[in-house]
Chains A and B, each alone.
Chain A
Amino acid sequence: MKELIKYLKNYKKECVLAPLFKLLEALFELIVPLAVAALIDRGIGGNDTAFVLRMGGFMVLLGAAGLAFSITAQYFAAAAATGFSSKVRRALFKAVQTFDFSTLDKTGTGTLITRMTSDVAQVQNGLNMFLRLFLRSPFIVFGAMIMAFTVDLQGALVFVVLIPVLFIVVAGIMRVTRPAYRLVQSKLDGITGRTRENLTGVRVIRAFHGEKREEESFLRENDELVDLQEKTGSISALMNPLTLVIVNLFTAGLIYVGAVRVDHGFITRGSVVALVNYMSQILIELVKLANLVVLLTKAMASADRVGEILNKERPEPGEKQGFPPENGDVPYISFDNVSLRYEEGSDLALENISFSVNKGDTVGVIGGTGSGKTSLVSLIPGYYKATEGSIRINGVEIGDIDEKALREKTGMVFQKTDLFSGSIRDNLLWGDPDASDSDLMEAVNAAQASEFVNEKPGELDFFIEQSGKNLSGGQKQRLTIARALVRHPEILIMDDSASALDFATDARLRSCIREMARSMTIFIVSQRAASVMHSDLIIVLDDGRIAGMGKHEDLLRENEVYKEIYYSQFPD
């Protein structure tokens, strides 16, 4: 909640004006009974038809003024609510942009999406109603109490007891239902997640004809959601009936107190009627308030969930230096006894890794599935922080290098080929927004993608659908490589990014990349011996540890693990 308040600060004016105009409207409404009273006393009493018409006209004017005030209030409320929610959505999106990789791993995509959409919509709706009604209802409730005091002190004491009782009921129900609404939203997360999975994994689900089972699980989860919604709804639906009962019981009490007071001659019968009328005004207002409270409780539960995301730990942008210049005395990149553990309590993903690399070298990283290849190269651009040991570039600890500067110098080709909906050009420009078409084509050529890019209608303008649905796996891989090349990185990391390419293309790819930039340091992670055998340095990983390092010929002579890998691919 608290963390969201600051997004209202641009809407101070709206937040004050909306309730204020609403208040004015309420005031005008309160004048109407006075006008009616005058109409009866002077108009009918004095048989004055002209006065009746004047008063009638005055009432219509009051209505028109009320309309104008009310519309103004609605506008300011809508402007504040939609503006606020748009700021909050933006803040959420921005917060996600600053999450580090571990936070992203831990937070699911589904929940981030519901929080940015459904929860923010709830908050927007809540704020809108709140601004319209929150001044008005207390105004009328307390106003009625004050008016009661002017009528009779003892009678008014009934109001003094009533208001805290109502407050306790309203607050109590909110207290109980707020966590319940949070639970409802988290169940909704579950349903969102399942829908998402079924859309992304449709082929596997159909291949295993899992449709029935998926339906059953969805139906079950949906039932659970509805159960919870109904339970929560029943509690929050108590609000209206309870206030109805309480206010009427107090009215009954008030009549009794009034009867005694009249009997003793302290007040007149008319005063009792007036007191009862004030009581019913409170009731009418509370009915409106009750609806608002349900809405507000939901909105607050959603605001909590939104706040959770905004509150997530984010790396502090400290004073860091730029990308370090070359320094002849130290190796370009060096790992010194580096270990990595993703989560506390889990096994080490990497253990005691030490090696160094010269500028312009090609480094091959090979090893079995789960041996830590991806973990190793993810450390270089600082995606994850090493648990132990130090990693240096040109002698400088990478933790001391500005993250942005470091990432600008690295070109990463991930295992997972994420492309985004947009033209091929849009996707490639991610590498370098200032690149010209000829720069792009140079990268496309080197990535062996020119053949299919040229064949696509519109070439660079060819529209890639969401997550590259209209491209084959190999095409996606080559575009992700081209995207990394566009930025002319100092360090290029290709994480098993030629797996969908045939060997000939893979070989051409490697030689073209090398030709494109002689001084670029290249890390190639691969399962294929052929992809790494020409590297200046081959690192053989086994179970998170270095099993061997060196050139192909040496490793083939001495290293058992490498030999096994090599001969499994080249049996002759």
Chain B
Amino acid sequence: MKNVKKNQPVTASETMGNQGERTQTTQPERKDSNVVWDFFCSVKLAVVIILVMVVACIIGTVIVQEKTLDEYMARYGYGFATFLRYTQLTNVFYSYWFSFLLVLLCANLICCTIKRWRNTFLQTGFILTHLSLILILLGGVIKFQTGVKGGVNVYEGKTVNYFLTQQLDRNGKLDYIKKDLPFSIALDDFILEKNEPKFQLVSFVKSSDRQKALEIKVGKKQRVPGSDYKVFIKDYIPDAELKQEPVNSSDSPNNPAVYVKMYSSDDVLAEGWLLANEQNFYDDKKLNLRIEYLWKSSQQALDKAATSVGNETPMVSVAISDWMQEYPLELNKTIKIEGSGYAVKFVQYAFNYGDKRPLEEQPPENPAVLVEINGPEGVESRWVFEKFPDWDKMHPARYKEVKITCSGFTSTRLAKNTVRVLQSPDGKRTLVHISDGKIVETVPWELKKKHAIAGTNRQVEVFDYYPSFDFKREVIRKSDEVKQPAVLVELDGPQGKMEDWLFANSQYATWYKDKNFALVYEATGDSIKHFTSKLRIVENGQTVAEKTIRVNDPLKHRGYAIYQSSYDPEAGQFSGLQIVKDPGIPVVYSGFGALCFGVIFIFYIKPFLRKKQKKGVEE
């Protein structure tokens, strides 16, 4: 140590704040000062310890603390995990070296305080702050040595006399230790109170990943901050219901649909709309019966479909760079692709890939074709999936430039009995019944006329026909109470305006056309407002204490404090209690008090007193 003004008492505020007015006492030079004493007294040591502590604290948050050895292994690998455990970096704040640091700090504080102790009023702050830190550290030691902390879940009406603490054992495994209580805790009542639901409209801009709540005020036009989107709230219904009604929007066949009923004698077994362009079939799994509705663009196409058993053959399309060709699925026929050096062969197919059943029994869930590609580098076998056309893009393939997809399986699948309802724009209506792959019957169909399906006891009736099937959506007001609110909003953005009803009970966001902007109308009040436990402390069969505890308000009894910490997240059946015993609390809290008063004294009271003194001197 350099011997510069070694024994002169200096405090921080004196050096920087009020230089040149050091009117305090100066101690006589201590000749007997030894090296050890000086070392422990020095501010330099304090600063070094603090800096090391800062580094330790940073490490202690960068490395996740007190996890099991398995977790460290998974995160860092064997070598580094072992190193961390060996150096106690997995448990920095309770490690031997951190404890040593704290002991050193304590020694430093004590020596420093003794050395600079003056019995002057202005020194109060200095003494209080430094002593307070010693008190807080001491309280921490008491907590560590004699305190316990654990938890227990109690069901309503039940009593417990123990709790569990968590601890890592020597091998870095998590261990629960049961601790007995000197009394019993009875949970008489557990109340979980939820917040009143509140509803809000939240906007989301995907490109900037920004979420923003919008004001819900009918007639209000607002721009979403930081974007070009505008939202106009046109209507609000506190309790709304959406009614969807099928309607026919025009007489031209834009979206042809038939309403089909299936009977067993006079009972309707199933009924519903079949849409030629969307959901065009109904399967009766039990009976292995399918009813399908096919819209054919011309009479020829209709006739063809009415006379062939299979629908169209599934098609396999082969593409090599810009060139593309579709082939009907014919097994084991080698197709040479001219000018490319490739040849393909369809080896096998399945309606449900991986299904061990025979083809006829497979549901068309995951149709796939096994293709052999013969090319310059030998043969590549590749499964091609109808529903996952991009499969080969994501999986290793030898001939990446050869792209193969297949289609037409889903609509090809034949049930044991298939009833095909065919229609074409010129008004031709044909009903075909196919049984076991053979056409059994071909008849014209009429609206509201039952057709018996031979070999089954079922009848089919086409009840209605809409050339342009559409939904008429209507939002109705059920009541004036706020129950299931809905808002009608108009979205405006780069692709023009769109309008839609948003329902608070919907799980889905409403997206704007450009798929970059969305609105969600949601309830936010579904969170927990309060949870309280009515506790009774029982000793020798007698109730000695009672209290309803809640978060921020514990029950204290015989040195134990019982906190409301959690609740059964699913059924709300049990109450999670935290049980803490910490005899060091009075010490720590006196430290806290001293620290607060000390810093206030140093930085506010002392300068004020100084100023007053100075003024007094000047006058």
Q: Do A and B truly interact?
A: no
